[in-house]
Amino acid sequence: MTESKVLTGETRSGPFDAELAWSDPPGHASPGHHQRAADQAGTGVEGEADRKRNREATTVQVVGEGARPPSPVNAMLAEIRCILQTLVLVATGKIGMPREEVGRMIVFADGTTSRIYRETTLRTEGSSDAVLLVVRFRLKLIGRNRLAHALFRFESLFNTVLFAAHRGFRTKLWLTDTTTGFYRGIYEWEGSDAAVHYAEVLRVVLASWVEAGSFGYRVIEGTHRDRFLDGRVDAEEVDDSGALWWLPMERTGNGKRSIP
């Protein structure tokens, strides 16, 4: 049985009161697309016993008690470097925007549902040291105003320059939830340390733009993105706080998902 690990980072009372604790080109296939097809090929409709066998044991690891985000100056310097390097990646055709996942609805274990509205990929060979990074936040001021959210989703394309050249980036799924106002990002990243570093930089960059306490992230080791999205990570007894906003639920025969 495969073991997965979850590293967590949550905002306790404000954007800087943080600790790491238990807490498009058409036809371009995203990394892992062929793996998903291989997983699905020949399986047919799985019974409950088959689904349980396909789940992965998940454990939680406490990382960096009392760790703090980088200073605003260091975070801004990191983002300036990222912007310049991303412009080079765009100019050389290294950034892709596949459409296979766009429009897919993901139901999470906290009962919320998000829609994938964009995918961004880096067209480069990655290492086998891939982890998943799940981030969420809720913007200030705009509430549930549909027009404001539509404008943000359009504008957010330009935010690609803020992450695509960070060390270790491989892919990102952009998700929106118009009911709760939360946005999620599901990334593939090379190495947990690099993923945590980016997440903490993002915490600082978003501090003035998101509701206090709404920013959080999880780093999940030892599983493939498509298995994760298909609900094949067994998170029973993983999160004592019940904060399973990061965990996709199991797909059922009617296209919905049920809590593992």
Confidence of residue 4 (pLDDT cuts 50, 70, 90): low
Mean confidence (pLDDT) of the chain: 75
When pLDDT is averaged across residues 196-219 and rounded to a whole number, the result is: 92
**Domain harbouring 245, CATH code:** 3.30.70.100
pLDDT for the residue 224: 85
Cβ-based neighbour number of residue 57 at 10 Å = 14
Region of poorest pLDDT, from 4-18, 145-159, 182-196, 208-222: 4-18
CA distance 136 to 245: 9
For 80-128, what is each residue's pLDDT tens digit? 999 999 999 999 999 999 999 999 999 998 889 999 999 999 987 766 6
CB atoms within 10 A of CB 110: 15
Query: At CA 57, angle to CA 232 and CA 222, rounded to 5?
Result: 75
- 238 touches 246 (CB < 8 A): no
* pLDDT band at residue 259 under the 50/70/90 scheme: very low
**pLDDT value at position 236?**
53
How many helical (H) and strand (E) elements, i.e. helices and strands, does the chain have? 6, 13
Q: Average the pLDDT over 127-153 and give the result.
A: 88
Burial (CB count within 10 angstroms: exposed 0-12, middle 13-18, buried 19+), residue 223:
buried
3-state SS assignment for residue 179: coil
Cα separation, 250 vs 255, whole angstroms: 10
250 pLDDT tier (thresholds 50, 70, 90):
low
Query: What's the total number of domains in the chain?
Result: 1
More confident residue, 241 or 115: 115
Phi, psi of 123 (to 5 degrees): -85, 85
The full DSSP string for 113-138 is EEEEEEEEEE-S---S-EEEEEEEEE
Task: Answer positive or negative: Cα dihedral of 4, 54, 182, 186.
Answer: positive
Task: Report which secondary-structure segment, H or E, holds 170.
Answer: strand 169-176
Q: What is the structure's pLDDT at 9?
A: 62
Band (pLDDT 50/70/90 cuts) for residue 178 is: confident
170 contact partners, CB below 8 Å, separation of at least 6: 31, 121, 122, 124, 126, 130, 187, 188, 189, 190
Instruction: Please give the model's pTM, rounded to 2 decimal places.
Output: 0.75
Question: Model confidence at 67, in pLDDT bands (50, 70, 90)?
Answer: low
Residue 63: per-residue pLDDT? 35
pLDDT tens-digit series, residues 209-237: 999 989 988 888 888 888 889 887 766 54
3-state secondary structure of 257: strand
44: alpha, beta or left, given left = phi > 0 and alpha = psi -120 to 50?
Answer: left
Provide the residue range defining the domain that includes 228.
3-258
